[in-house]
Chain A
Amino acid sequence: MTAYIIRRLLYMIPIVIGVLLLTFVLFTLVGGDISQQIAGKNADAETIAEIRHEYGFDKPLFLSWDSQFLNHFKKAFTFHFGRALDRERISEKILRGVGPSLALTVPMFFGTLVISISFALVVAFLRGTVWDHIIVILCVAGMSLPYLSFIIFGQYFFAYKLDWFPIFYAPDRPMVSSIVLPVLIGIAAGLGSNLRFYRTIMLDEIRSDYVRTAFAKGLTARRVLFKHVLKNAMIPIVTNVVLSIPYLILGSLLLERFFGIPGLGYLMYEAVSSRDFFVLNAMTFIMALLIAFFTLVADLCYAWVDPRVKFE
């Protein structure tokens, strides 16, 4: 077990280096010198030179201790990402965004999880009937609607037309009131694909021999579903939950943009629209670290929930 963890942690090193190489190629080699863009159209040569110096665009790319290539690694490993285009520290921006993002995504994620698993159990029980087909078709229909349409329509109808919820997030209002509508929209938009995913998992379980045995013993349907099927279906569910944690931190780009929630999704949106490569670079690296780490945690959880799994 310990050897396995150490080996997996060691395997993270080439992955992290790979991510840094990729971001270097993307933002420095291809993206290139954006000092002109930072300075604006009417900047004189002196200002541009100053900006070039400040952001280190004047340094050699490779082959020097102070090269852009090595600085790229240095910045990442010390978590000193410097300042964004609006002069604020990137690390502060990111830390500030984690809270609002989690406030939005955690209720959304667990709401979707609970609703889709309970529906999936029911649907798996009703398999082959008309209801099963209707629900599957509804799921596919839900998956086929664009996410953006869900958000725009939901915001317009429930917040603007019916005036049940505030349209935008306001810092002086309690967080809960501005979070409810985006959470509900997120659940509605994600329900189709999630329900379908968990239905497949439940169906795999419900066809197995131990379920037939349980029914043959005369157990009630409820007992079989909740005691036997759900417990075995926990394995893919737990893995899925753990793998989702980094994405919960990342927030929801579209929902945060539309409802003005100042989370990491909003930060990403701003970085894209102002072409702020520094923020994008930092976010890419941090998210990659989180995902690599939680993939490892998921594998460990997998073994913890399912004693049949052996570490190689």
Chain B
Amino acid sequence: MNNSQPTAVSADQPVKGRSLWADGMRRLRKRRLAMVCFGVVMVYVLLTVLVYLSEAAGWKIPLFDWRQAVGPSYQKPWTVYAWMPEGQTQAQRGWTFFGTDFLGQSTWRKTIYGAKTSITVALFASVISILIGVPLGAAAGYFRGWIDDLIVWLYTTIGTIPGIILIMAFAVVLRSQTFFGVELKGVTAVYVALGLTSWVGICRLIRGEVIKRKESEYVLAARALGCSNGRIIFKHLLPNVFHVIIIDFSLRFVSFIHAEVILSFLGLGETDKPSWGAMIDAARTELARNVWWEMAAATAAIFVLSLALNIFGDALRDCLDPKLRTD
């Protein structure tokens, strides 16, 4: 009977609503450019995972073996050269995609390995800053009173010190210190320093969001039903502000990748493994010898990753939180 109107909904069949998330994701999927950017970011992440896996399992994948010398030092990209590998008597012909560095290591392989360094730093630093900032912000916004005063005082204090000084001070001091039996060195010191200093922004955001929502009906209902404070915060409030965390995460990731470059330049980053910062820094002496490819490769790698993250992050913000739209 109702066949002529297949979309009509009968009274006993409830309308299935779309959640905020499903709605946002649907909007996001329609944006071709944002999805391409997401794909690009995923390629970097996949490379990082593969490098980790091959290191853990001891696979011998030539592409990830940046230590191996593949030619004489400073060979131009995309050119065939003849060289004598160590321990061999016969000259070989070689070719690299992105040239070689001073030690004859492949710039291309170093760039791929650099993705692991950068993504590790950015990921762990983001996770640390979210783990500190979100609970503090939620507690400050929910409980108010002296807890709020204390937390606001804490983040205002940290926010009063310029970010670059704070990060450098933490990185210098934390380097080669041992906490709970773990020595902070190399990238570990970098992401701990970045994470400990950059939770202020997300803390402030979450506090504001929680203050805005703590008097809303669903929270009052939960309280009337006798939910504990912890349950209200973690089960009711945080899922509703989760999009704020995700947006912040995607845009913060970029700033951590750029911070890693600067810390590497200051000698506070990874010391014995390739990183994009160290590769760009090497160009200080290399450019005068016309060796441009090491810096170009690292710059291009950072450029593509942060461009993709920036565009994706903006699209994510527009889709998940239309109120924050910028254009």
Interface residues of A (CB under 8 A from B): 14-15, 18-19, 21-23, 26-27, 30-31, 127, 136, 140-141, 143-149, 152-153, 156, 160, 200, 203, 246-247, 250, 253-254, 268-269, 272-273, 275, 277, 280, 283-284, 287-288, 291-292, 295
Contact = CB atoms under 8 A, between A and B. Distances in A.
Given A22-B157, A148-B281, A254-B262, 10 more contacts: A15-B157, A143-B310, A144-B254, A145-B303, A146-B280, A146-B303, A152-B287, A268-B165, A273-B267, A287-B162
B173 A272 contact: no
Of all A-B residue pairs in the complex, the 6 with the closest CB atoms, nearest first, are A18-B157, A144-B306, A144-B307, A156-B287, A149-B299, A31-B173
B174 interface: yes
Contacts of A140: 307, 310-311, 314
B204 to A, nearest CB: 14
The binding surface of chain B is classed by DSSP as helix
A275 B158 CA distance: 21
B166 interface: yes
Contacts of A291: 160-162
Given A143-B306, A143-B310, A288 B160 contact: yes
B98 to A, nearest CB: 16
Interface in B150-184: 153-154, 156-158, 160-162, 164-166, 168-170, 172-174, 177
Given A200-B326, A291-B160, A149 B165 contact: no
B288 interface: yes
A160 B288 contact: yes
Contacts of A292: 160
Identify whether the interface residues of A are mostly helix, strand, loop, or mixed.
helix
Contacts of B268: 272
A173 B14 CA distance: 80
A104 to B, nearest CB: 15
B233 interface: no
A15 B214 CA distance: 28
A15 B310 contact: no
A141 B157 CA distance: 33
B38 interface: no
A136 B283 CA distance: 30
Contact of A277 (B173, B254, B258, B302): B173
Interface string B123-156: 0000000000000000000000000000001101
A146 B162 contact: no
B223 interface: no
A14 B158 CA distance: 12
B292 to A, nearest CB: 9
